[in-house]
């Protein structure tokens, strides 16, 4: 009798596995991820099914994140028409950077309704010691509103310095809206968030983690780092709010101290300060995220999207944003990086802390290198994730054979997410070059079409190479076989990292 029931259970389990595999095939866009999840479901009984339903469901396809901020279809169409007209007008400017990268601008316009904005001031900020004094100064000058959205915001020296300004500004009547990722910013959940709310600031977790939905909510993280002040000044890039990003004292009056918990580790990262119309798309992203997580809907006003006036500083930088996440129809950030790589004619310089590129980026870099372009990749020598670093190394051999130069940063931990092509286009943002940033996380990159900014970022890249060690292709090829086996094994599950 027991054998009969055992056979029934086995038949039921096989049927369930088959149904789950069919679900994986139907629901997963990437062939690599499809195979990885199917192997997991088949060879890891019960647990594999649980892992897939926790981490593998394609929420982009299911559109559970409905964050549209313009509900009136006619108004939405009117705004889109204005964005298209504005972008096409800026594409006609006599700018060598945009002339060589029109296809990239068109892609972001069509895929993400992201306008190509002109007349921006842009400032590159290297590490926390350059970023945070600029942030503190800009926050102090806020008159109408402050919008802040961060993956990691820590209750430490710099976190409390910013908090004090937010509390004071809220008490003065400035509207303060604060979004934090409930996983990445878990140290502020109770005390700091309560203090902000008590002062009149509005603070919400982007996707509050509750036990019953723990796995899904951990998987879909808001990895963006956005500050928008009065709709005119914005900050975007890779630097979270944490003492660890500050390597040297910069200003006694700022209360900034170097290093934090990791004061012996040098953190290398990059951020942007943008002033001008380029901030409007950051504002749009923030408000869309706000409408999703807050108990209120922000009303669109001229104060949130101020038009240019005679007293607004006018720069000469062309800026466009690339944003994507489970709420977008396509992996816009992945597509924008691919287009930038394929449009490059001379040089591609990439810095990324996590390199799990997938086949499309891998092949694009190989094609570029084989076509005679200089392709250089800067990655961490020591990573904060040994497993991810192991999986990343499985891609190096193919790249090295094609002529890509790979450098491992030795001075500390490189956390910057940047790309420069032909000294014409500079990309700085929150997105790593990995599956998670392309498919699962909410991310944003800023694209600056400008020779001056691109040349400056190029100079910073080559300065970083002085603190890096280049991988020798011959020595890499001669490594023991078990190194390669370990790396390729890690690569099998890389799509699920």
Tell me whether residue 223 is one of the annotated catalytic residues.
yes
Q: Are 424 and 100 in contact (CB under 8 A)?
A: yes
**Residue showing tokens 């001229």:** 302
- Residue 359: partners with Cβ closer than 8 Å, 6 or more residues away: 32
Whole-angstrom CA distances from 431 to 65, 162, 236, 341, 439 are 19, 24, 11, 16, 11
How many CB atoms lie under 10 A from the CB of residue 27? Answer: 16
Q: In a 3-state reduction of DSSP, which class is residue 154?
A: coil
According to DSSP, the β-strands at 405-409 and 468-470 are antiparallel
Q: What are residue 92's phi and psi, to 5 degrees?
A: -80, -5
Tell me whether residue 145 is one of the annotated catalytic residues.
no
Catalytic residue among 33, 169, 223, 317: 223
Q: In a 3-state reduction of DSSP, which class is residue 208?
A: coil
The one-character DSSP state at 308 is: P
Name the token pair of 181: 């990722």
Burial 445-466 (b: 16+ CB within 10 A, else e): bbbbbbbebbebbbebbeebbe
Tell me whether residue 415 is one of the annotated catalytic residues.
yes
Q: What are residue 117's phi and psi, to 5 degrees?
A: -105, 145
Tell me whether residue 74 is one of the annotated catalytic residues.
no
Q: Are 402 and 369 in contact (CB under 8 A)?
A: yes
DSSP string of 91-106? HTS--HHHHT-HHHHH
Pick from 76, 12, 80: nearest CA to 46:
12
Give the H/E segment covering residue 180. strand 175-180
- Residue 240: partners with Cβ closer than 8 Å, 6 or more residues away: 150, 151, 152, 153, 154, 184, 225
Q: Cα separation of 169 and 186, whole Å?
A: 24
Catalytic residue among 155, 230, 250, 434: 230
Q: How far is CA 213 from the centre of its chain?
A: 23
Catalytic residue among 131, 145, 415, 424: 415
Catalytic residue among 131, 147, 417, 424: 417
- Residue 25: partners with Cβ closer than 8 Å, 6 or more residues away: 34, 38
**Residue showing tokens 């054998």:** 3
Q: How far is CA 437 from the centre of its chain?
A: 6
Residues acting as catalytic residues: 223, 225, 230, 415, 417, 422
């Amino acid at each position: 009798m027991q054998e009969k029931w055992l056979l029934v259970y086995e038949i039921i389990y096989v049927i369930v596995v088959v149904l789950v595999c069919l679900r994986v095939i139907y629901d997963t866009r990437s062939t690599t991820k499809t195979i990885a999840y199917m192997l997991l479901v088949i060879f890891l009984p019960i647990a594999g099914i649980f892992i897939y339903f926790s981490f593998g469901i394609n929420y982009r396809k299911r559109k559970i994140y409905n964050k549209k901020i313009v509900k009136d279809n006619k108004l939405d169409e009117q705004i889109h028409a204005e964005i298209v007209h504005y972008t096409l007008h800026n594409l006609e400017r006599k700018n060598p950077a945009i002339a060589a990268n029109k296809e990239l601008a068109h892609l972001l316009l069509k895929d993400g309704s992201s306008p190509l904005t002109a007349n921006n001031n842009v400032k590159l900020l290297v590490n926390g010691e350059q970023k945070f004094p600029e942030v503190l100064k800009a926050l102090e000058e806020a008159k109408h509103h402050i919008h802040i959205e961060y993956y990691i915001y820590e209750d430490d020296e710099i976190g409390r310095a910013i908090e004090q300004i937010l509390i004071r500004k809220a008490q003065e009547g400035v509207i303060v809206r604060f979004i934090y990722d409930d996983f990445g910013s878990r140290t502020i959940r109770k005390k700091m968030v309560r203090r902000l709310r008590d002062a009149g600031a509005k603070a919400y977790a982007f996707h509050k983690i509750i036990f019953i939905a723990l796995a899904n909510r951990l998987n879909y993280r808001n990895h963006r780092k956005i500050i928008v002040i009065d709709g005119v000044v914005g900050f975007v890039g890779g630097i979270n709010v944490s003492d660890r990003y500050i390597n040297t004292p910069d200003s006694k009056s700022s209360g900034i101290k170097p290093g934090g918990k990791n004061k012996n580790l040098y953190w290398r990262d990059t951020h942007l300060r943008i002033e001008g119309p380029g901030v409007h798309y950051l504002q749009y992203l923030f408000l869309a995220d706000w409408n999703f997580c807050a108990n209120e809907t922000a009303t669109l006003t001229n104060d949130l999207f101020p038009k240019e006036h005679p007293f607004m500083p006018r720069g000469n930088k062309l800026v466009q944003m690339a944003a994507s996440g489970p709420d977008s129809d396509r992996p816009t950030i992945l597509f924008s990086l691919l287009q930038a790589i394929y449009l490059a004619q001379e040089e591609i310089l990439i810095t990324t802390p996590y390199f799990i590129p997938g086949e499309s980026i891998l092949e694009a870099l190989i094609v570029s290198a084989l076509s005679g372009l200089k392709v250089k990749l800067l990655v961490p020598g020591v990573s904060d994730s040994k497993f991810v670093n192991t999986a990343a190394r499985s891609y190096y051999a193919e790249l090295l054979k094609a002529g890509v130069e790979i450098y491992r940063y030795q001075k500390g931990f490189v956390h910057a997410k940047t790309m420069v092509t032909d000294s014409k286009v500079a990309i700085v943002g929150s997105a790593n070059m990995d599956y998670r940033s392309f498919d699962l996380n909410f991310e944003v990159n800023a694209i600056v079409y400008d020779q001056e900014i691109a040349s400056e970022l190029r100079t910073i890249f080559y300065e970083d190479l002085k603190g890096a060690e280049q991988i020798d292709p011959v020595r890499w090829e001669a490594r023991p076989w078990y190194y390669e086996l370990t790396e390729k094994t890690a690569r099998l599950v890389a799509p699920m990292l």
